[in-house]
Structure 1
Amino acid sequence: MTLLAVSFRQYTEEERVTQLLQSVSKYLTLLIEIHPINNVRVLKAVDSCVRVQFLYPVECRNTSPESHLLLVSEDKYIEQFDIHVVAEEEHRVVIQNLGQLPRVRVADDLIWAQWDMTEQRLFYIVPKESRSTLKCIQFYPDENFNSTLESQLDISVSDKQIRFVNFGYNDCKDQDVASKSLNLQVFTSKAGGLCVCCSLASDIRGEITYSIYFLHKGFSKTFTVSLERPETPQLKEVAFLNLDYYVAAYLPGQFLHLLNIQHPDLLCYSLFLTGEDARIDMLPSCSIQSPLVSTVLDCCMGRMYAVSISDSALLKFLQSSERDSERLAALHCALLCVRSTTDLETKIIWWISENLSTCHSFDPIQEFIIASLYCKMCPETNNLDKLLPYTSLLDWTGVIPGVACATDIISLPVLEIQNSKGFWEKLDSNLESVKYAEPQLHYHNNVLRREWRILSEETEERRATAYLRNIFENAKKVLSHLDAWDSEERLVPLFQEEDYQQQLLMGLMVAQLKDHLMRHLQYVGKKKIDQIVLDYVANLLNLVHRIMKEVWKMYQLHSCIFCFDERGSEAEFRVFHIMSRILEAANGMCMPLPPGFHTLHLGLGVRCLPLHTLLHYIDNGVLHLTETCVRKLLKDLDDNEKNEKLKFSIVTRLPEALGLKARQFWDHPVNANFLARKYVKLLFEKLGNRQCSRPVPERHPVPVEFLPLNYLTNVLAEIENQGVHPYEKQDHINVRFVEEAALKHTMMLLGLRYS
């Protein structure tokens, strides 16, 4: 590039007195050939301020036969100059036809304009009575430009002076001009977000009002902030910063408000900071702008700064916050905006483990799992962020102290281009989502929960259907996708066991999430959707295991604690409590748990809880009886009086199928007595209203005559002879077994020896 365009003021304030009578234009705009001729062309010599901006539609373009220059005037118009250059001898490049530069009018009657230098977009506002129209022009590498967007804004700017944003230096000393011009800025995000940020004049001392128009969502939010220090601040104008996933409203020395662009509906996802927390390092309390994403320009000193959200500051704020809204906002900001590292995730898990009882309006385990999954999965596929859940909260009715918020529905912008790519394609997708009821697009677990409950009650015969076989095939695929748990991760003694209920839930989640994505992402293809769903459920299980692994390290537990010969430690009790909260979070979201979770949870419960509490937890579904844990419990504990009571209490609560296997684990009269009673009960239930009409068969005499027992066994034998056999596959359970079990238990209770 050998061209330079410059616009400047011709004289200083001190020279104004001596030049009042001279007919000299205040502003001069020049086009200069830097090398080799230093030819100068006057583009404008006017009283009004003029800004110039070269177009750079192609990055790293070294040579070009044509350059394009925007000229933006305070007279409310924008022109484009087309400057043709030619190469001469000795590699010189000069302007062709300097006296006749082609020009075209780009925009008229504007009151505000902003240049997006990265994406080569021109935003401008045309006032129309009480409402204004925001327009956008996109410049392309092929040297063409198109009007791309038009949006109606409920902003009155008829009495405002024109303001230029990102068109070079603004004189921050001219506070009178700044106060009369429109403080407004447009921000875009990579995900197709389009926000208009505008500060409004407030008649009340000590209050600041500003509005954010989330054009890609179809609503706006107007915030009124009561300043902590109501004395007149050094700056009365709110500065807006573009942080891609967030926009920030910043008033130095007063507050920093981070607003979530992707999920602006609930205020608890926006972070409102005051005092020392609201300080941006290295920035003085002066006028600033955000010309680029994550960039701040100090207008007074002329310095440019890169701005990012500090993960260490977020973690510190998370740990020190006393309000649920602040904790939730910091948690989401860390996971979704900072794109958390393994180290940050570990620190968040430790914080969650220590603060499970301090969060009242949300479950931190649920939010950590859902937000982490959302962050991991959504970058892989376009529009996936509109289909996967990002929070466990359906609504939030809390308030942010010192901040009043009003929400208004606004008209959606109209896109004037078709078959667009990049940002415009994503914005169009966001607008379509709003038109077709976006809340219904996000995956919900209502149907999953209902289906799981129905299938959990199916009989063995119905479990063999093709539908259920497919469900369990889904579960096997998920388990095969789990991360390999190496020796370090095996610190948590999770048993690789089959858990019918959890595998059923895994398979159902895969099936229903796949159906949900297929309805909205057909263009992605079935194979890709299958992979997304399997990765999602596998990552979910890995996150639960990750939490447990960090908790195990936190409390310095060992992998060999799964035994029952001694009571649990205080650390084990704390881990048991955390596992109970994980289970509660899983039940609330209807999500599966890793294989062996319930076995480990029950094992810790046996070690840590008194018997009556343990049984209460089992009866209320907090602890789930698993074959692995029951078998180990019955085998490892000896049969003293205390252990017999524990074992019998467990055996009596076993499901029928597992109860039949328990006799193999525990050969004891108490267990035999339970099975005998169960057998008798089932005999009479199956008998129903039948009458005993057959004669009593001859039976082998029993060693002890006990007339009530003899009568009972005769009745049972008659029922058996009528073809009633509850345990047809269990040949060892019959009337003879009932008789012997009753005698053994009776003799044991009487303290007599049975032979």
Structure 2
Amino acid sequence: MLLQLSAAFDLHRDVVPWLVERLAAEAAAPVAGLRAGLDPVENNYEALRVVNIERNGKVIYSCKDNKKNVFFGLYDLHTKKNEHLYTFEKDLQVASCSINHEKTLLAVSFLQSDKERRNELQPVSKCLTLLIEIHPVNNVKVLKAVDSCIWVQFLYPNDERKPFPESHLLLISEERYIEQFHIQVIREDENRVVIKNLDHLPRDRVVEDFLWAQWDMSEQRLYYIILKKSESILKCIQFYADENFNLIFEVPLDISLCATELMLVNFGFEDSQNQGGLSKDLNLHVFTSHTGSLCVCYHKKLAAQEQVTYSVFYLHKGYSKTFTVDLGTLEYLLSMKDITFLNLDYYVAVYLPGHFFHLLNTQHPDLMCHSLFLPGKNEQMNLIPDGPLQSLSGSLAWDWCSEKLFRVNFSQSSLLHFLWSSSLDYERLAVLHCVLACGRNPRVLEAQIIRWIFENIWSCHTFDPIQEFLIASSYWNFCLDINNLDQLFPYSSVHSWNREIPGVTSVTKEILLPLMKVQNSKGYWEKLNANLEYVKYAKPPLLYSNNMVKREWRNLISEEKRGKRRSTAYFKNIHENAIKVISNLETWTVEPRLVPLFQEEDNQQRLLIGLMVSELKDHLLRNLPVQFIGKKKIEQLVLDYVSKMLDLLCQMLETSWRKHNLHSWVFHFDGSGSAGEYAVFHTMTQILDSVNRMCLPLPPGFHTLHLALGIHCLPLHSLLHYIDDGVLLLTETGVMKLLKDLDNTEKNEKLKFSIVARLPPSIMQKISHIWDHPINSHIISRNYVKQLLQKSKRKFQSPAIDKSSFLVEFLPLNFLIEVLAEIETPHQALNPFEECDSVDAKFVEEAALKQTTMLLNL
């Protein structure tokens, strides 16, 4: 299963043994509180149930003994210990319960029945809400005695280390209002905490006339919806420890809410039989993540039909998506199970047990290929509980049926298994991102993905797995910690998707952005506001592209070929950027690398590395608030980002090296290639193609190593074809080693001549003295004459010779030498081979005579 559900709390596992042990102890020595006769084993736990889960991981539960006394206990998820809170020695039906952070006050709401009347004339309120001092057990105050149901919830301070002079309690009424009580406490002695001014507790009216409310226990937020001119308005209130509360935002939602409906989410775990007028047909949840995303998931049960429709409002993006799922079976018409929405940080899981499982990417929901859509019969759904789960804050989810509290995480092994087993591109693409976003131990994870890429590189038709891995891995590593950074870096190599996903259709609609009511907020609200500002003003999107780097890189290479040079300061800055990246990358290397890289200057790749660093840095400095982030932090981020891409490429080469047992490979040009070298050569060719199409830098030394493997593995005609098409690049280091390593056999001479004849002048002038051979002298002479004549402005009169009768390039020799000698004056001669001082007209004459002699077999 893609989701891993581990039981953090099981009522029967974690509570029942403790209750039984407590019973045995009290049977031997009865004490006040829980009396003998409470046997949860014999009564099948019918009266044992969870009533609330507090912010600090404490679970409140209640049960009844055979005398109908109500017992309240507390289980701590962190210490895994139980403790007794309070016991009512009468039969009461618990509606809601909450305890303050210091465990000194207990708020309880009971539903009363008509049987509790002492006489027929005495009125009995439907709901009784009590505030009880429990440290130690002392006073009881009635907060409400009304005919509508009341739910209670203590607020928890964000900083739990602060002292507790005051507690704050929310009362949520079925009559659609929410009040906040301010309860001051005093410590009378070392162990006695009591309520100050018990007879008069200050209170505020927080919300009125709401239809739906959700409590976020982790972040202390209250989301609620009101009707305004028949329009549903979502609002949010943030509660603070050092101040009262603030209305943070409001936004209209295109959802249909009936004025007679009422729904509460995460206000305890009341029995569904006692929900009274609460709506059972409305399924609405608000989910957030630490990156500043804000999603509203909405589903309304309709009459039985063969399709299910649900909507997700991506409020941080400014649009909503409505998904329609073909169920493909009539079982749903009979079961009418409810859809479950689970918050998984970067994702929202939406599923209907036995029918479908969807994993929606909330960071980048625009393309469906980045979300996962599984049909009901997929094996990945086998372990999902049949009953609905209630998503709580963090990674917790409550199972109503089993009364278990689960920690929900992604199963890394299942995600990787699914990546290997799926044959559909959109599933592979979605799972690849999910693995990178949610996986643990990234180094091991990246190695497993690389192995998958090498096995499936030819079977992906709609995306390049190498490109997607490089872009996505770099994104998930660096782009989520700083506001708007994920909006500036590329997320995927796939920019559009128009293919159908079987069984699922989606309609996208623009919506209004939330109106922020508070300025200069921090934490989550600052990130949400930054996302909203980006959506408002970033038209078109400000995603980084390597197009500028590509143009500049090609211009610099072209200028270098023409002998032009930019300013020294410009090249110095680019060179320093490249040095910083390579130095930064070396600090990440834990084990020695097997692949012989980084052993040469490789000016072109260093130039590309430095250019990418420079362009990325300028891109971020233009679009990020440098005064808040800092220029040094941005510079380090860019270095890490480019270093990460190079590191991933090195990992790919290392994986291929080990897979084909090239552990002890020695860099040389002699001999023929093995099967392993042939496989690695084609892997490097595929990497080169993927990287070149995005103009990403390669590790220095890549082209030299690629050339060496090509010479080993390819016949000469194929090798020259690869060189002429630009697949294999002739590097100075590679050619020099080739000329030194190979002797002058006929086969090697042919190879050397073919290589030297294709050298660019910038390399030719540096290595021409390495190979002392007439053929090399001929090539040097020809290139020298060509460049010398091109640079001379003198116009020569062509001799009256029938050129068609001469096939040898250097005849008539006398006239050529005379022309060269005339050009070679101290003022006119511009020797392109500055390191070869012996190249002159005399050298050309000797080389031409030798060449002529060889051609005529004299």
TM-score (norm 1): 0.91
Report the CA distance shift for 1:749/1:176 in structure 2 as closer, same or farther (over 3 A): farther
Letter in 1 for 2:513: L
Tell me if 1:216 matches 2:316: yes
The 2-side partners of 1:464 and 1:527 are apart by 25
CA contact (8 A) 1:197 1:211 kept: yes
CA contact (8 A) 2:151 2:171 kept: yes
3-state SS of paired residue (1:623):
coil
3-state SS of paired residue (1:118):
coil
Q: CA deviation at 1:313?
A: 0.6
In structure 2, the partner of 1:633 is 738
Q: CA deviation at 1:277?
A: 4.9
Letter in 1 for 2:640: D
Moved more, 44-53 or 284-293: 44-53
Q: CA deviation at 1:235?
A: 4.7
**What whole-Å deviation, never above 9, does each CA across 1:186-210 have from its counterpart, x for those lacking one?**
1111111111111134557221111
Report the CA distance shift for 1:693/1:261 in structure 2 as closer, same or farther (over 3 A): closer
In structure 2, the partner of 1:66 is 166
Q: CA deviation at 1:410?
A: 0.7
In structure 1, the partner of 2:716 is 611
The 1-side partners of 2:231 and 2:569 are apart by 61
3-state SS of paired residue (2:448):
helix
**What whole-Å deviation, never above 9, does each CA across 1:232-290 have from its counterpart, x for those lacking one?**
26453211111111111121222221111211122221122334657567653012200
Report the CA distance shift for 1:598/1:67 in structure 2 as closer, same or farther (over 3 A): same
**What whole-Å deviation, never above 9, does each CA across 1:171-230 have from its counterpart, x for those lacking one?**
346899777542100111111111111113455722111111111111111111112444
CA contact (8 A) 2:212 2:263 kept: yes
Q: CA deviation at 1:502?
A: 1.2
Report the CA distance shift for 1:144/1:376 in structure 2 as closer, same or farther (over 3 A): same
In structure 2, the partner of 1:144 is 244
In structure 2, the partner of 1:585 is 690
The 2-side partners of 1:693 and 1:652 are apart by 27
3-state SS of paired residue (1:241):
strand
Q: Which of 450, 453, 477 is residue 376 of structure 1 equivalent to? A: 477
The 2-side partners of 1:368 and 1:582 are apart by 12
Q: Which of 622, 625, 634 is residue 727 of structure 2 equivalent to? A: 622
Report the CA distance shift for 1:68/1:564 in structure 2 as closer, same or farther (over 3 A): same
**What whole-Å deviation, never above 9, does each CA across 1:281-324 have from its counterpart, x for those lacking one?**
76530122001221110012221000000111110010011111
Q: CA deviation at 1:746?
A: 2.9
RMSD: 2.9
Higher strand proportion = 2
Letter in 2 for 1:120: Q
In structure 2, the partner of 1:673 is 778
CA contact (8 A) 1:283 1:298 kept: no
The 2-side partners of 1:275 and 1:566 are apart by 57
Moved more, 80-89 or 205-214: 80-89
The 1-side partners of 2:485 and 2:222 are apart by 30
In structure 2, the partner of 1:4 is 106
Q: CA deviation at 1:148?
A: 1.1
The 2-side partners of 1:496 and 1:37 are apart by 76
Q: CA deviation at 1:473?
A: 2.3
Where do residues 49-198 of structure 1 align in structure 2 (5 Å cutoff)?
49-60=149-160, 64-88=164-188, 91-159=191-259, 161-172=261-272, 180-198=280-298
The 1-side partners of 2:648 and 2:201 are apart by 63
Q: CA deviation at 1:612?
A: 1.9
Moved more, 732-741 or 478-487: 478-487
Where do residues 703-714 of structure 1 align in structure 2 (5 Å cutoff)?
708-714=812-818
CA contact (8 A) 2:262 2:279 kept: no
Letter in 2 for 1:152: P
**What whole-Å deviation, never above 9, does each CA across 1:570-599 have from its counterpart, x for those lacking one?**
222221122122212222222211110110
Structure 2 portions without partners, runs of 5+: 1-102, 800-809
The 2-side partners of 1:707 and 1:425 are apart by 79
The 2-side partners of 1:377 and 1:266 are apart by 22
Q: Which of 422, 429, 440 is residue 321 of structure 1 equivalent to? A: 422
Letter in 2 for 1:96: K
In structure 1, the partner of 2:371 is 270
Where do residues 422-571 of structure 1 align in structure 2 (5 Å cutoff)?
422-437=523-538, 440-459=541-560, 460-484=563-587, 488-519=591-622, 520-523=624-627, 524-571=629-676
The 2-side partners of 1:569 and 1:67 are apart by 76
CA contact (8 A) 2:339 2:388 kept: no
**What whole-Å deviation, never above 9, does each CA across 1:587-618 have from its counterpart, x for those lacking one?**
22222111101100111111112222221221
The 2-side partners of 1:356 and 1:234 are apart by 43
3-state SS of paired residue (1:482):
helix
CA contact (8 A) 1:55 1:69 kept: yes
In structure 2, the partner of 1:410 is 511
3-state SS of paired residue (2:299):
strand
The 2-side partners of 1:161 and 1:299 are apart by 22
Letter in 2 for 1:333: C
In structure 2, the partner of 1:697 is none
In structure 2, the partner of 1:295 is 396
Q: CA deviation at 1:424?
A: 0.8
The 1-side partners of 2:154 and 2:351 are apart by 30
CA contact (8 A) 1:387 1:442 kept: yes
Report the CA distance shift for 1:21/1:356 in structure 2 as closer, same or farther (over 3 A): farther
CA contact (8 A) 1:162 1:181 kept: no
CA contact (8 A) 1:125 1:132 kept: yes
Tell me if 1:735 matches 2:735: no
Report the CA distance shift for 1:200/1:187 in structure 2 as closer, same or farther (over 3 A): same
Report the CA distance shift for 1:254/1:450 in structure 2 as closer, same or farther (over 3 A): same
Q: CA deviation at 1:629?
A: 1.1
Q: CA deviation at 1:500?
A: 1.8
Report the CA distance shift for 1:438/1:368 in structure 2 as closer, same or farther (over 3 A): farther
The 1-side partners of 2:121 and 2:498 are apart by 65
The 2-side partners of 1:635 and 1:61 are apart by 73
CA contact (8 A) 1:54 1:69 kept: yes
Letter in 1 for 2:625: L
Report the CA distance shift for 1:203/1:621 in structure 2 as closer, same or farther (over 3 A): farther
3-state SS of paired residue (1:114):
strand
Report the CA distance shift for 1:485/1:739 in structure 2 as closer, same or farther (over 3 A): farther
Moved more, 137-146 or 331-340: 331-340
Tell me if 1:749 matches 2:851: no
Moved more, 638-647 or 30-39: 30-39
Q: CA deviation at 1:562?
A: 2.5
Report the CA distance shift for 1:537/1:156 in structure 2 as closer, same or farther (over 3 A): same
3-state SS of paired residue (2:654):
helix
TM-score (norm 2): 0.81
Tell me if 1:248 matches 2:248: no
The 2-side partners of 1:155 and 1:490 are apart by 58
Report the CA distance shift for 1:256/1:175 in structure 2 as closer, same or farther (over 3 A): farther
Moved more, 405-414 or 92-101: 92-101
CA contact (8 A) 1:112 1:182 kept: no
Q: Which of 125, 129, 134 is residue 29 of structure 1 equivalent to? A: 129
CA contact (8 A) 1:170 1:299 kept: no
Moved more, 278-287 or 450-459: 278-287
- Percentage of identical aligned residues: 57
